[in-house]
Amino acid sequence: MRLFDPHIHMTSRTTDDYVAMHAAGVRAVVEPAFWLGQPRTSPDSFHDYFDSLLGWEPFRAAQHGIVHHCTLALNPKEANDPRCAPVLDTLPRYLLKDSVVAVGEIGYDAMTPAEDAALAAQLDLAAQHGLPALVHTPHRDKAAGLARTLDLVRESALPPERVLLDHLNETTVAAAADSGCWLGFSIYPHTKMDERRMVTLLAEYASCQDRILVNSAADWGRSDPLKTRRVGDAMLAAGHHEDEVDQVLWRNPVAFYGLSGRLDLRLPAPDSSHEGNSVLRGGD
């Protein structure tokens, strides 16, 4: 079973997690920029974090046979902090970089005017950079938050087929499905969705199966980086064909993030020869 976790915060995870994920079948991840638990106080703190998602974390993942891409953004929570919001001025330069496959996580936390402005600006940045957008739907007042999110998507330059609405559940899936956006579900041990309910929703929304993504959203909280595998196993146990598992847990994330034109699922191959090129050899 090949697995692509389309939303996981590996910065917060250990090397043991990488080993276990690879053993479970995970070969690719996308790490969205998010709130780190400890509030940031300046754009430079974001820059260092973005640099980590573009440098150190992909290197760490590669050591374990996992390809790492990221999405970058000003997250909804810190969009409310005037010390952090200026990162939107430097974000465009980061969005040019190769392993950035979407703008995200953007969306709502408390549905404030500052969040409105950051979400609208970043949906337009996604459109300008040819990137899709990963949109976090809020934990509190989720259905109203989704409705307001969809209003902003409609007003933006980004078409719904380039938007992934994440952290959906039974109360929001219908409106999200009607919108034409991609549908994301986060599977958690005690909150968000679980694998049993996910399988039920997959049956109910079988007509949307080609635009459903499932992720672990594992981070620094109580979460499980193997939840994609658990969903795959639950799908098989419920009678789904292996090809359906592959569609939801591999091909759909490849298709969505592939909209960026930047998804590269090849790890650098070992090659000590440098084939006679003196720049790569070091000119010596």
Partner 1 sequence: MLTGGGREDPLLDEAYRWLCRRTDAAGRDWLDEALAEVRRAGPEPAATDGPAPLPAWEAHFAAAGRRCRRTKPEAVGPQAPGDSDIPDTPDNAGAPDDPATVARVLLLHAAGVRTGTLTRLYTRGTGAERRAVLRALPHLTAGPEALHLVTDALRTNDTRLIAAALGPYAATHLDPPAWRQAVLKCLFTGIPVAAISALSRRAAGDRELARMLADYAAERTAAGRDVPTDLCHVLTLTGKES
The C-alpha torsion from 13 through 19 and 25 to 30, rounded to 10°, is 30
Nearer to partner 1, 2 or 196 (CB): 2
Q: Does 188 contact partner 1 by CB under 8 A?
A: no
List the one residue from 23, 83, 97, 203 that touches partner 1 (CB under 8 A): 97
Of 54-62, 141-149, 185-193, 212-220, which part binds partner 1 (CB under 8 A)? 54-62
H helix intervals, 109-213 = 113-128, 142-155, 173-179, 195-204
Q: How many residues bind partner 1 (CB under 8 A)?
A: 48
Q: Is 232 helix (H, G, I), strand (E, B) or coil?
A: helix
List the one residue from 41, 42, 55, 241 that touches partner 1 (CB under 8 A): 55
Nearer to partner 1, 72 or 199 (CB): 72
Per-residue interface string for the shown chain with partner 1, residues 58-87, x marking contact by CB under 8 A = xx--xxxxxx--------------------
CB 188 within 8 A of CB 222: yes
Q: Does 276 contact partner 1 by CB under 8 A?
A: yes
Q: Does 159 contact partner 1 by CB under 8 A?
A: no
Q: What are phi and psi of 2, to 5 degrees?
A: -90, 140
Q: Does 99 contact partner 1 by CB under 8 A?
A: yes
**132/60 Cα distance (integer angstroms):** 25
List the one residue from 86, 98, 117, 171 that touches partner 1 (CB under 8 A): 98
Of 113-121, 200-208, 230-238, 271-279, which part binds partner 1 (CB under 8 A)? 271-279
Q: Does 56 contact partner 1 by CB under 8 A?
A: yes
Q: Does 129 contact partner 1 by CB under 8 A?
A: no
148-164 core/surface letters (b: 16 or more CB in 10 A; e: else): bbbebbeebebebebbb
Structural tokens at position 146: 């989704």
Q: Least distance (Å) from partner 1 to the CB of residue 144?
A: 35
Query: In 10 A of CB 92, how many CB atoms?
Result: 11
- E strands within 137-248? 163-166, 182-186, 212-215
| 1 closest CA partner among 265, 198, 254, 248 | 248
Q: Does 96 contact partner 1 by CB under 8 A?
A: yes
Q: Does 271 contact partner 1 by CB under 8 A?
A: yes
Q: Is 215 helix (H, G, I), strand (E, B) or coil?
A: strand
Place of tokens 């989704």: 146
Q: Least distance (Å) from partner 1 to the CB of residue 117?
A: 21
Edge-to-edge strand ranges of the sheet holding 100-107: 3-5, 26-32, 67-72, 100-107, 133-136, 163-166, 182-186, 212-215
Q: In the complex, which residues of this chain contact partner 1 (CB under 8 A)?
A: 2, 27-28, 47, 51, 54-56, 58-59, 62-67, 93-94, 96-99, 250-251, 254-255, 258, 261-262, 264-272, 274-280, 282-284
